[in-house]
Each structure stands twice: as C-alpha cells, then as structure tokens.
Amino acid sequence: MRKGLSTILYLFLGLPITLSALFCLAVKPWALDRAFYKRVIEDRRLYAALRSPDIARGVDARLEFGGFTFSGPALVTALQPRLPEKELTALGHAAIDQTFDALESGAQNRPDADLMLDMRPLKASLLAMTDAAAEAYVRALPVRDESPNPADLSFRPASIAPARMDAETRAALGKAATSIPDVVSNTLRIDAGIKGRSVKAAFDQATATLTGFAFALIAGLALLGGGGAVSVLSRAGSYLIPPSVLILVPGVILSMPWTVITRKAMPGMPAELARFLASDAGRAFHEYLGAVLGPMGRSFFVAGLVGLSLGAALKSLRRIFEPHEV
C-alpha cells in the first residue's frame, strides 16, 4: 500500500517537479547569458547561409513591402551580395544589451523598461545600396507582355525599357527604405514578482529552491515507500532516473553533428526541405545550428548525465548491500 501510494505521488508530483528542476539546471548556463545570444546573431555562418543562391529559389514569388509588390527571387538575388551585415549585427547587439540591462537591473525603481533601437544606420545602409540593388533587381526580373502597374514591380513589362524600370525600382526601394522608422521602441515589463531583484538573480534563486525541493520530495517519496535505508536510497535512485533520461536525450541529440541528424531524418522530410538541406545554404545552416545549439546540447547532456549517474549509483546500492542484509 505504501509503495503504491509512493509511486502514484511520484508520477503525478515527483516526476514533473524533478523534471522541471533538471530543466532549469540545464538552461541556467545560457538562458540569461547575453554573450550566448550575441554569438547567435554575429556568427558568420548565418550570413553565409543567407547569401546562398538557394535562398532565392525558396522565397515567395511576390513580396509586399513599402506599398510595392516585388519579385521575391529577384529582390533576394539583388540584396544578398549587399546584405548589411554590420548594421544588422549592431542592431541585434543593441537589442540584446538593452534587454539584458533591463533584466539585470530588476524592478528597483520602476516596473517597466523602455527599449529603443536606432534604425538610422540600417536605413542609411539600405539607401546607399539602392542604385546597385535596383540595377541587379531589374536584371533578374522576368519580362512579360503585360500592362505596366506603378505599384507592381514583380516583373518588367515588355513595353518598358530597362533604364526606366531601373529608375522606378530605385525610387520604390528608396521609398521602402525611407518608410522604416528612425527609432523602434517597446516596453519591457520586469516586475513579475521579483521584488527589486534582477531577473537573473530571481531565476538563480528559483532554480536552487526548485532543485532543493525536488530532491527533498524524491527523498520523502522514497521514505514513504518504506523499507530499510538501502531500499529507500535505491527507490530514490529509481525515481531520479526517468527525468534525468528525459533531459539527457535532447542533450545527446543536440550534441550530435547536424549532418548526422539530417541524414537520419531526411528520408521522412518534405522534398523541398530535403533539397534545401542538401544545398550549399543547407550545409551552411547545418554549421550555424551546430555552433549555436552546441552549448545548449552540452548543458542538457551534463545535467541529464549527472542526474542519471546519481540515480544509477543509488539504485545499485540494493544490489551491493541487499545480499548481506539479514
């Protein structure tokens, strides 16, 4: 009866709480680490993937932007060599820094933090590339024997000369770039019951509290099952193994080379996705994901492995000492 009650309480209470504690321990090294997110956006492999010709073949045929309709493949082909990598990276860094500054300062003085991103460098870069991008865009446009539409630049009417189309495209791209606001602002609410502490400090304390409670609960449920000290410790190990395995498995998967993962999964993928992953862009994306997800996979792997090792060690006590019990 006591063992049955202990097992039921473990399934509905001990397992989810222990799993939550191990999950918090697994994400703790990187979830609130600003350097991790900066590495995500500044990795050159991401921009190498975005510059691949295979990207242009996968976008929509028509894209709406700034009140104009553009040809998706032609626009991507024109912008890829001129991707404002420096400005995009700086914009991402500013967003990350402002967000983490607000999170780390806590809600000591005010519950809200105003995030403001300066879009002017990006706008200037887009405006500077307008002439070259318009020329490349017109060269990549399909030519159709249709009536011209000033707002539809997804094709070049046969009745319009390339030079005129180039001027119209240059004006449209300039107007679209100018429509980007100089400053983008948002409000981040950070007073979610943390009482003036930083979010990182609150998360660290919550993780420590949850972990301590989870292990105390596992010990209590193991004691509820009855038996001697060896049986209790062995039962506690049995209770610790399942959530540890659930954390370890994604750690193993994320730590595997992405070429191995996609090779195993490719037969069941949609044809378009399989072709993309086999392309140069897909391979660059593989390398990028491997670099980004590596720290995540390692943290899950370590948390799961430590929990599994501790659980297995406790569970093995019964095999070691039980034969000697009277």
The amino acid occupying position 130 is T
Distances in Å between the alpha carbon of 251 and those of 69, 218, 273?
44, 23, 24
Q: How far is the C-alpha of 72 from the C-alpha of 60, rounded, in Å?
A: 5
Per-residue pLDDT tens, the chain, 326 aa: give them: 788 899 999 999 999 999 999 999 999 999 989 999 998 898 888 888 888 887 877 788 888 887 889 999 999 999 999 999 999 999 999 999 988 888 777 545 555 677 899 999 999 999 999 999 999 999 999 898 888 788 899 999 988 899 999 999 999 999 989 989 999 988 777 655 555 567 788 888 899 999 999 999 999 999 998 888 888 999 999 999 999 999 999 998 877 766 666 666 556 666 666 666 667 777 777 778 777 888 888 999 999 999 999 999 999 987 777 655 44
Q: How far is the C-alpha of 253 from the C-alpha of 3, rounded, in Å?
A: 35
Q: How far is the C-alpha of 57 from the C-alpha of 78, rounded, in Å?
A: 13
pTM over 0.75: yes
Distance between first and last Cα of the chain: 23
Q: How far is the C-alpha of 273 from the C-alpha of 292, rounded, in Å?
A: 20
Segments in the chain forming alpha helices (H): 2-9, 15-31, 34-42, 44-50, 53-56, 72-79, 85-105, 120-128, 130-140, 162-178, 199-224, 229-255, 258-265, 271-278, 280-321
Q: How far is the C-alpha of 102 from the C-alpha of 188, rounded, in Å?
A: 8
